[in-house]
Amino acid sequence: MIQRTRGERIFNVFNVTVLGVVALMALYPFVYTISMSLSSAAEAMRSGLHLYPRDISLTSFEMVLANPDIVSGFANSVLRTVSGTALTLFFTCLTAYPLARKELPYRGPLLFLILFTMIFSGGIVPNYLLIKNIGLIDSIWALILPHMLTAFNVIVMKNFFQSIPESLAESAKIDGASEINILARIYVPLSKPVLATVGLWTAVSHWNQWFDAMLYITSDENQVLQTFLQRIVIESSVEMIEQGLVDPNVTQFTPETIKAATVVVTVLPMLLIYPFVQKYFVKGIMLGGVKE
């Protein structure tokens, strides 16, 4: 049925090859980093592509995981991601549901109030002063509360809720169900795809956030993983020894393998969940793409 001319066959080979090269270029930085993180100091200094480590050593990971900052940073990042995502989902549902119902008084002005925050904001200094004035400096709440509701999540959730037939809510109301019951028993169970998408994007953005932690968190014990990674990446070998990150008497090391191992520790949770959630990830791009 499908007839291919010679030109088309040549094009197909060319197309598939170029895309393969593009994919390799997308992957290579990760391959290199993983390979470096697993290399011994001598292997890391060898010139070459480092597609895989010829001399495997776990020393870098031992040093990184022996660093108490990395361990507490990891725990703080997990804490902000899990609790932040749970709170976002809860309050986004709560806010989006009434806005999805046409009979809500002042629905138009309220929607505008929320939408306007997408295109205008006070900026860094006023936000910093707010966090300072409500006493959240150096608290994990400073990282969770300001992200709890975003206009974008509320609008996405509201649009999804609107696609659920209103007759369901109306008949439940006649049966005497309260609004919160209608939301919890009818709307939320029907909204699993959008909950998964919003939840995933929120979780990823919490894990990746570093700027707010850099501004608001002042003590190392409350600091998140991304900030420690940021510090380690710009450190030289001398600084690493001074910071007590490595003990030069015990091991030979190069800063590159330590940096690479820290990157891997930070990336790993993301890459492990990626295959399972990428379906929702693509959905999120569709939702966020043009309407961002």
Which residues in the 126-155 window bind another protein by CB under 8 A?
A: 126-130, 145-146, 148-149, 151, 154
CA–CA distance, 196 with 203 (Å, rounded to integer): 10
Task: Kindly tell me which residue out of 6, 25, 174, 175 binds another protein, with binding defined by CB under 8 A.
Answer: 25
User: 213's torsion region: left (phi>0), alpha (psi -120 to 50) or beta?
Assistant: alpha
Closest CA to 208 of 61, 91, 85: 85
Residues 187-226 that bind another protein (CB under 8 A): 204, 207-211, 226
User: Of 90 and 250, which CB lies nearer to another protein in the complex structure?
Assistant: 90
Is residue 237 near another protein by the rule CB under 8 A? no
For residue 261, give both structure tokens: 């191992």
Is residue 180 near another protein by the rule CB under 8 A? yes
Cβ pair 216, 80 in contact under 8 A? no
DSSP state at residue 252: -
Task: Kindly tell me which residue out of 41, 65, 94, 241 binds another protein, with binding defined by CB under 8 A.
Answer: 94
Backbone φ and ψ for 145, nearest 5 degrees, come out as: -60, -50
For another protein (CB under 8 A), the number of binding residues is: 92
State the nearest-atom distance from the C-beta of 268 to another protein, in Å.
Answer: 11
**Nearest-10 Cα torsion for 173, 177, 183, 188:** -100
For residue 232, give both structure tokens: 């380690």
User: Of 132 and 192, which CB lies nearer to another protein in the complex structure?
Assistant: 132
User: Of 122 and 250, which CB lies nearer to another protein in the complex structure?
Assistant: 122
> At 134, which amino acid appears?
I
User: Of 59 and 155, which CB lies nearer to another protein in the complex structure?
Assistant: 155
* Contacts (Cβ under 8 Å, ≥6 apart) of 1: none
* Contacts (Cβ under 8 Å, ≥6 apart) of 225: 70, 73, 74, 76, 77, 265, 266
Is residue 160 near another protein by the rule CB under 8 A? no
Stretch that binds another protein, among 17-25, 136-144, 159-167, 185-193 (CB under 8 A): 17-25
* Contacts (Cβ under 8 Å, ≥6 apart) of 30: 267
> At 81, which amino acid appears?
T
* Contacts (Cβ under 8 Å, ≥6 apart) of 106: none
State the nearest-atom distance from the C-beta of 74 to another protein, in Å.
Answer: 14
Is residue 117 near another protein by the rule CB under 8 A? yes
State the nearest-atom distance from the C-beta of 146 to another protein, in Å.
Answer: 5
Residues 71-90 that bind another protein (CB under 8 A): none
Stretch that binds another protein, among 46-54, 60-68, 78-86, 160-168 (CB under 8 A): 46-54
Residues 252-271 that bind another protein (CB under 8 A): 256, 259-260, 262-263, 266-267, 270-271
Stretch that binds another protein, among 30-38, 68-76, 236-244, 245-253 (CB under 8 A): 30-38
User: Of 27 and 250, which CB lies nearer to another protein in the complex structure?
Assistant: 27
CA–CA distance, 209 with 237 (Å, rounded to integer): 27
